[in-house]
Structure 1
Amino acid sequence: MTSKGHRRLLSIARPAEWSYRPAGLTYEIDLEDVQGFRWYYRMEGRYSIAIDQLSFARDFMLQSKVESLYTIVLYVTVSGDEFFPYRSLASDSITLYAPDTPFKVIYHHNMELYALTINICASFVENFLQERYPALAEAIQTAFARGPRHRFDLIRPLMYDILQCDKSAEVSALLFEARILEILSRITSAQETLAISDTAAERVTIKPEDVTALTEIAEYISDHYNRQILLKTLSSISLMSESKLKTLFKAQYGMTITEYIQKKRMSSAELLLISTDLPLAQISKIVGYANPSRFSELFRKYYGIAPSIYRAGK
């Protein structure tokens, strides 16, 4: 959540009579549309950390612009949509925001928002780069500008370390600083590696006729995602070899064919859970999984919680 987003929520919050963490401040939010708490910690001129645990009576929109801050958000649990560019928010995901980028998100009321947000001052990042990675100043800017496209799983354990820290104020301050510096190091190193792979990816040229074929494949999957789809079938439809199809599909859609099918199935399952009372076993079959346990496993992977719990919170 961006700096303005923080200020908007803090403007409707009041100091809590209890403390969520020994360090920082805890605020309670008890309004008709929003209830929960926010924990907030700030190091002036360096960074701020916030933990939000909120429930919404109806869909809730936050819209602002990141101001001279590098922002990292860990969504532990979330249901919603983000814009600029559009994507569906997923639980247990990490998103990066570069300075001066627009921020607009709608949180859905069917699931509690539990998120960790780190806002890092641009001047702090610049000093960090000058001291440790003087030759890679553009790498971290590129990494944040890529937004949700790359999730940088290497920083996930560090984010959870910050989220779960309940030490004294003095110990917390040391841990926060160390973890944030390590997060910046890992993002910079990861982006350097991605730059190498991107250079190779840029050499993949997709001809107009192949784009048309890939579009037909995507439409075929959308119509048949709940059935068994064989790679050789898609290869025949596209008039491409299986190897070429896999390479071009990932270059075009940013994910493998299997990931694309699973995403379609999970989106359909989410809609059925929210809008119907069908048993989970039946929903599992409808979206293409004969084994309900496998369906639940994949749903938990995508949304962070079991489908039964997701439905209960709708």
Structure 2
Amino acid sequence: MYSSLNKDYMNLILTKYGFQQVSNSKDFNPLGTTWRLDHNIGKGYFWTYYHHSNLFSIKIHDFTLNNETIVESNMPKGLYIAYYSSISGEELNPYRRLNANCVRSHLNGYKSFKAIIHKNIPVHSIGIEITPSFYEDYLKKVYPSEYINPYNAFLEIDETTYFPEMVSLLKQIEDYKESGISGQLFFQAKILEAVALIFDRKRHKKQAKEQIISEIDMQHLSNVTSFINDHYAFDLKIDLLAKIACMGETKLKKLFKQLHKCTILEFIQNQRICQAEHLLSHTDYPIKQIATIVGYTHTGHFANLFQKATGLLPSEYRKVTQGK
């Protein structure tokens, strides 16, 4: 029942955004279904595979959009994890960058998804989703005495640039092209392995208890966030930010990360990369000048950080966004 609901909703979403079901491409496993994006909207494909017993699905994004596009979905319940090798945009709920070269989890059905995807930048990801039939029924039935709901384990992943075991596993799934019973068994085995990796990561990760952020601390954190947004191109020192926040440096670092799900340095870098994307897309400023404008004194360092965040060098990003 769930798989049918999930599949039907996914088909509606794909149709809404201009995808049409086509014959399977040799680039994808024949066990799945291939969708091609209308050339007036963009180019590329979306591939899906649904397990016959409603336990899981696999999805590959491999397309580019012609225009800035707001994407919204409110999928049925499911726990999703994906590796993004290329993407450029911002999630809007809550607002934050969509970074390339990272693993992200999303709790479908528990929270809606809304994002703006930037034009001309490839969206490439490989992801898996386990259904309630898997994590509420199957796991509990097979492991009754050891059962743990994986919800919190998926939740804690959120976004990370260091989960090499998961990246390797997802790439294996993407590259596998065998069909028939061998293909089905391979996919099922890899899903079980992925869930095991997620449980292992949670078990080995030192748990830090989150504290409730008081109203006054939340206001101070808002002040710091606004200050960073206005001064991200400057050399911001933690002692200055702590004074603005009216709290110690250690407390500021902890509460800021708890609130924004990233460190202060990562937040500043995200702001700089966002502005650099805009300048590369809409101006002819030299890359060295753009690096200076957003706060970097060394162009090479800026280029490395930009490529890590977007999957493209600044010159490549300008070329695809401006057609130069």
Alignment of 1:16-165 (within 5 A): 16=23, 18-24=25-31, 25-45=33-53, 46-101=55-110, 102-126=112-136, 127-132=138-143, 134-138=145-149, 140-144=150-154, 148=158, 153=163, 154-165=165-176
- Asked if the contact 1:47–1:121 (Cα under 8 Å) also holds between the matched residues in 2, the reply is yes
Output the CA distance in 2 between the equivalents of 1:242 and 1:117.
Answer: 37
Runs of at least 5 residues in structure 2 that lack an aligned partner in the other structure: 1-5
- Asked if the contact 1:16–1:28 (Cα under 8 Å) also holds between the matched residues in 2, the reply is no
- Report deviation, 1:276: 1.2
Alignment of 1:230-245 (within 5 A): 230-245=237-252
Match in the other structure for 2:10 = 5
Structure 1 pair 207/37, CA: closer, same or farther in 2 (3 Å)?
closer
Which amino acid letter does the alignment assign opposite residue 128 of structure 1? L
* 147-156 vs 299-308, greater mean Cα deviation: 147-156
- Asked if the contact 1:66–1:97 (Cα under 8 Å) also holds between the matched residues in 2, the reply is no
Residues 39-67 of structure 1 show CA distances to partners (whole Å, capped at 9, x for unaligned) of 33332123222323112222344433322
Structure 1 pair 177/221, CA: closer, same or farther in 2 (3 Å)?
same
Structure 1 pair 86/147, CA: closer, same or farther in 2 (3 Å)?
farther
- Report deviation, 1:241: 3.6
Output the CA distance in 1 between the equivalents of 2:77 and 2:191.
Answer: 17
TM-score normalised by structure 2 residue count: 0.80
Match in the other structure for 1:179 = 190
Structure 1 pair 285/169, CA: closer, same or farther in 2 (3 Å)?
farther
Output the CA distance in 1 between the equivalents of 2:116 and 2:51.
Answer: 29
- Report deviation, 1:103: 3.5
Q: What SS does the aligned partner of 1:201 have?
A: coil
Answering whether residue 324 of structure 2 is matched by residue 313 of structure 1, we say no
Answering whether residue 281 of structure 2 is matched by residue 274 of structure 1, we say yes
RMSD: 3.1
| Aligned pair partner of 1:263 in 266, 270, 282 | 270
TM-score normalised by structure 1 residue count: 0.82
Structure 1 pair 179/27, CA: closer, same or farther in 2 (3 Å)?
same
* 302-311 vs 97-106, greater mean Cα deviation: 97-106
- Asked if the contact 1:40–1:50 (Cα under 8 Å) also holds between the matched residues in 2, the reply is yes
Q: What SS does the aligned partner of 2:207 have?
A: helix
- Asked if the contact 2:105–2:159 (Cα under 8 Å) also holds between the matched residues in 1, the reply is no
Output the CA distance in 2 between the equivalents of 1:98 and 1:214.
Answer: 26
Output the CA distance in 1 between the equivalents of 2:316 and 2:275.
Answer: 17
- Report deviation, 1:296: 0.9
- Report deviation, 1:17: 7.0
- Asked if the contact 1:23–1:41 (Cα under 8 Å) also holds between the matched residues in 2, the reply is no
- Report deviation, 1:291: 0.8
- Asked if the contact 2:13–2:73 (Cα under 8 Å) also holds between the matched residues in 1, the reply is no
Q: Kindly tell me the number of residue pairs found equivalent between the two proteins.
A: 308
Output the CA distance in 2 between the equivalents of 1:189 and 1:236.
Answer: 39
Which amino acid letter does the alignment assign opposite residue 106 of structure 2? Y
Output the CA distance in 1 between the equivalents of 2:125 and 2:145.
Answer: 32
Output the CA distance in 1 between the equivalents of 2:214 and 2:260.
Answer: 15
Runs of at least 5 residues in structure 1 that lack an aligned partner in the other structure: none
- Report deviation, 1:181: 0.6
Output the CA distance in 1 between the equivalents of 2:308 and 2:123.
Answer: 17
% identical equivalent positions: 28
Structure 1 pair 261/134, CA: closer, same or farther in 2 (3 Å)?
farther
- Report deviation, 1:269: 1.1
| Aligned pair partner of 2:292 in 280, 285, 290 | 285
Output the CA distance in 2 between the equivalents of 1:192 and 1:42.
Answer: 29
Which amino acid letter does the alignment assign opposite residue 222 of structure 2? T
